[in-house]
Amino acid sequence: MPTGEFLPFSPPCIGEDEIAEVAATLRTDWITTGPKTKQFEREFADYLNAPGALALNSCTAGLHTALATLGIGPGDEVITTPMTFAATVNVIEQVGARPVLADVEPDTLNMDPARVEAAVTPRTRALIAVHYAGHPAELDALRATADRHGLALIEDAAHAIPARYRGRYIGSGDNPAAFSFYATKNMTTAEGGMLTGDPDFLDRARMISLHGMSRDAWKRYDQGGSWRYEIVYPGFKYNMTDVQAALGLWQLRRLAEFQRRRRAVVARYQAAFGVYDAFQLPVERPHVEHAWHLYVPRLRPEATDVTRDDLLAGLAARNIGASVHFIPIHLHPYYRDKYGYAPEDFPIAYDAFTRLLSLPLHPRLRDDDVERVIDAVLEVALPARARLPKAA
């Protein structure tokens, strides 16, 4: 039987400041893309020290817009990882290009630069690096491959606000980086995203993201604006609204507070699970700052008879929300059948998938909530022979 109130996996953390900002926005003449969205773009770019930012309605929109702005299409290949949500790869299909998967590193589960290099062909046009769970991918090596072969480097930073790579925030470079503000993310606008990068690139992306129009809609309807516009590209409807931006402004201001709590929860998990051989813990390499969007341990089958699915079921029975990130791309029927993948084609990603799960991680977790998760995991995952701590 379930014990205790349901402990959600990753609820949003919305305060009175966000609510007041949204209410104030609803009392203005601008509820769709307008001055609040522009303010959010400026503050987000300033936070990351990014050259520019474009607010959109999702990270998926950012990735799709980036590919379209780069002119990637039929006959082109884009290399990315199997260990990601399907949106990363769906957008490659949507522009008519072919996704090429490169297996991941065993510790970070980020795309392995050596395998990326081996996957490059004369048809390769771009790399999409995913910062899995909030741990930055090895950007120096990936950028070197991109430069060597004349490829675009796009970052799927859905998990990566506010991660740093070698002291610089993810998204601070000139190349396109797409962020997510979905309800479960480290900061949220309910739905929403941001694309950062070179200002000239973003000017073209802005046009493509709003129907391919030659001027912003909010400028057309502002005082003194002109009704005249031209369609110069068959674009998308991907703009963010001022209502969403109102949420984002205060979420950004609270991000440091959110991250302190996330890191405190992670430290308690690492200390509790790190003494047992049954768990392979997530890592944080010395030259990065992990965003800790997800906490993803893996079970070691040689040290416990309990499977990942057993553990998920045990947590559910105890009213604790947990999840799996992710089902690798090559296991989904569309990609499996179209490209003829077998599970073992990407053995590191497949092995990790069979053993990993994501535990609750969010700023609303109280200390007693964290202890409840730890106690439940240990109770379910550790039969008597696995309860001994690691040898010194």
Instruction: Tell me the catalytic residues.
Output: 185
For 88, phi then psi, to 5°, come to -55, -40
DSSP H helices in the chain: 16-26, 35-48, 59-69, 87-94, 113-119, 139-149, 199-209, 217-221, 242-253, 255-273, 308-317, 333-339, 347-355, 367-381
Structure tokens that stand for 368 in this block: 């007693």
Do the beta carbons of residue 299 and residue 279 sit within 8 Å? yes
Q: Are strands 98-101 and 124-130 parallel, antiparallel or unpaired?
A: unpaired
Sign of CA dihedral 222, 227, 228, 232: positive
d(CA 389, CA 380): 16
- What is the C-alpha to C-alpha distance for residues 55 and 238, in angstroms, rounded to an integer? 9
CA 389/CA 332 separation, integer angstroms: 38
Tokens of residue 169, six digits:
């925030």
SS3 217: helix
What backbone phi and psi angles, to 5 degrees, belong to 79?
-90, 130
DSSP structure class, residue 98: E
156, 84 contact by CB (below 8 A): yes
CA separation for the pair 244, 38 (Å, rounded): 12
